[in-house]
Structure 1
Amino acid sequence: MTEKDFIPGVYPQKVEKGQITYSSPSNIALVKYWGKKENQIPANPSVSFTLEACATTTTVTFYELGSAGSHFSFDLFFEGRPNEDFKPKIQTFFKRITVYLPFLKSYHLKIETANSFPHSSGIASSASGMSALALCLLEIERELNPEMTQEYFTRKASFLARLGSGSACRSIEGDLVQWGAHKETEGSSDLFGIKYPYKVHNVFNSYHDTILLVDKGKKQVSSTIGHGLMHDHPFAAQRFQQAHNNLSKLRSVFEKGDLDTFIEIVESEALTLHAMMMTSQPSFVLMKPNTLEVIQKIRDFREKSGTHVCFTLDAGANVHVLYPENEKEKVYAFVKNELLVYCENQQHICDRIGYGAKKLG
């Protein structure tokens, strides 16, 4: 599919007003997307676990204006309060998608959104937030065009979410989602995420992710700026090739349930992401001292216990502790007894693999 496939014709129905609610999850990348081209096109492909507990719930209440205006008409509420800080990002998003949702300037929108986790702290709040909003907007379009198929709806939702936040395109479905063209993955695309199309061993279908809130503060650098630093990065080409190679290796890993190689790839990807930030110009150190303490503790415990616990990181200090269902009691006891001391007020989130966004109303 191309961008043109997402431009609608004349809508067969008329809708005066309504209200739509979606809950959309965050996701945690196993192979990281870092660096992008124009129009939110990824510099390398990625694959992620969709989460369940870490989610954004968004309600869009809309009514038709007397005539289409030259500007977008919307109010934004975050966790019950008006939020002007988020409005420029929504404005930019609307400008990017108006060619694909031409009804936008014909309605006033009241957008109410809330997260189940701390905003802007290294958990992908933009992924869950922009995917939830994209789904609500596309649901309005589905009311205007009831003949839209579910397959097209899902693909276009991912396409639109990507234009708000790249990783948001991986939050529409679950449990494993790949985004970015990869020569060995049939159906892969830079324009939208797809459900991982190959065989996946049962061990990966019920993975746990305990998120350690090492630092709940706002990130030192936004993901947008971080991606931009890859343009002239001295190691960018090697990094992009590494991502392609790791995706190729994961096909066998997912099929066989090879947890040892899974750990090697996932931890390498996490540390490479931070290494790219530490070697950019300007450089940023996003990990905190407690992040490093947790990483070392996890590696020591894995060696002593024979479990398959591992870590990954997003662009922040918090640590995602990944482990299979059949080891949950032993690993969570370790987390509780030895790792929570490194979290702010021992705060953490117990999450697990999820299966994508849900329409709530």
Structure 2
Amino acid sequence: MLEFIFQGACNDIKKTSHKWQTPSNIALVKYWGKTHPQLPKNASISFTLNNCNTRTRIDFNKKQNNNSIEFEIFFEGKIKEEFKPKIADFFDRIKKYCPYIYDYRMVIYSENSFPHSSGIASSASGMSAIAMCIMNLEKDLNPNMKDSYLKQKASFLARLGSGSASRSIEGPLVVWGKHLDIAGSSDNYAIKFPYKTHPVFDNYQDCILIVDKGEKDVSSTLGHNLMHNHPFAEQRFKQANDNLKKISDILQNGNLKEFISLVESEALSLHAMMLTSNPYFVLMKPKTLEIINKIWNYRRENDSNICFTLDAGANVHLLYPLSEKKEVDFFIKSELLKFCQKNHYICDYTGSGSKKINS
């Protein structure tokens, strides 16, 4: 991607600091399987969340020795040496596009709005926040940079840290992966869903039911790698791309019954790939299935439009239109809370993406 290679500085910046808030996201059509360097085997689309976000500040101080990349990472006030290897890998991947990071000693301060151990993947929000801070430094060096370029390159960089992080720069609906039916889509960065959505999807609600806060038995990275020799991989990639075309139409026409069917099928298809890989693994828990059955019963008995989706884990995202919030809140507290670890759940809704914080 030659257009993202840094062309040289206009300004000489000795010292600066930037702070960004970027959200997590939940995929409606999932990507599962990728090739080097962090390119998806199928296109995906996600809701950007609002309340579940990471706030990151990076202090940049110019140094004389530019032979290496130097940084420290503090998470919620404490130095986190265990976070450094992944961030170091990220910096190594982006140095071709952002060579100026050699010129600065970086101190990263990060915190989540949600508990780090809550089972919500924070790599998307965390890596996208770092990418936005890096790109804000680049804008200091080249003030004529357009905001559209800043966000596009930030998505490109974030992808190199975590594939889903590419979808956390914009909102409320974001597509990542080249798709013939989505104008402007790319494998290299994510874009805002380019078509007008039906009003029913405005402020769509996502209640995250925390079934298990523990670390997953199988990491997402390993899960993606198991798709390389998966017997059903090609069928899955085709299914996902077909579903993206379908959900594009649904998001525009507002057919919630079709939305429910497709989103739930996508969630179960993702976990079916885990069940049929070699080695196979199960990330759902018994209480995950209990919640799913409760959702199905409630929807049938109340002619509701609630549905579920799953990430690569045991926790359940309960999706529903804002018009049903009062009734669904009662349903959660009366029927679903007992399946949540320590009664833990997080109420969220669709958001607009990354935000600059003036500290």
* TM-score computed with the length of structure 1 as normaliser: 0.98
CA contact (8 A) 1:131 1:172 kept: yes
Deviation beyond 4 Å, 4+ runs, structure 1: none
**One-letter identity of the residue aligned with 2:157:** L
Matching residue of 1:215: 212
CA contact (8 A) 1:214 1:291 kept: yes
Matching residue of 1:61: 59
Deviation at 1:150, TM superposition (A): 0.8
Superposed counterparts of 1:157-306, under 5 Å: 157-306=154-303
User: Hey, what's the Cα distance between the residues in 2 that align with 1:269 and 1:35?
Assistant: 14
Matching residue of 2:102: 105
CA contact (8 A) 1:21 1:57 kept: yes
CA contact (8 A) 1:340 1:347 kept: yes
Identity between Structure 1 and Structure 2 (%): 55
- Equivalent residue for 2:304, pick from 303, 307, 311: 307
Q: 1:197-249 CA distances to partner (integer Å, 9 max, x unpaired)?
A: 11210111110000001101111111111100100000000000001110111
Any gaps of 5 or more consecutive residues in structure 1? none
User: Hey, what's the Cα distance between the residues in 2 that align with 1:220 and 1:120?
Assistant: 14
Deviation at 1:121, TM superposition (A): 5.2
Matching residue of 2:116: 119
CA contact (8 A) 2:119 2:214 kept: no
Q: 1:62-103 CA distances to partner (integer Å, 9 max, x unpaired)?
A: 10001312x210001111111111100001000100011110
Superposed counterparts of 1:331-346, under 5 Å: 331-346=328-343
Q: 1:3-23 CA distances to partner (integer Å, 9 max, x unpaired)?
A: 110001121111001111101
User: Hey, what's the Cα distance between the residues in 1 that align with 2:302 and 2:63?
Assistant: 63
Deviation at 1:120, TM superposition (A): 5.9
Larger displacement relative to structure 2 (247-256 or 314-323): 247-256
CA contact (8 A) 1:121 1:219 kept: no
**Secondary structure of 2:105's aligned partner:** strand
- Equivalent residue for 1:14, pick from 3, 12, 15: 12
**One-letter identity of the residue aligned with 1:114:** E
Deviation at 1:127, TM superposition (A): 0.3
Number of residue pairs matched by the alignment: 358
Matching residue of 1:95: 92
Deviation at 1:251, TM superposition (A): 2.0
**One-letter identity of the residue aligned with 2:265:** S
CA contact (8 A) 1:121 1:218 kept: no
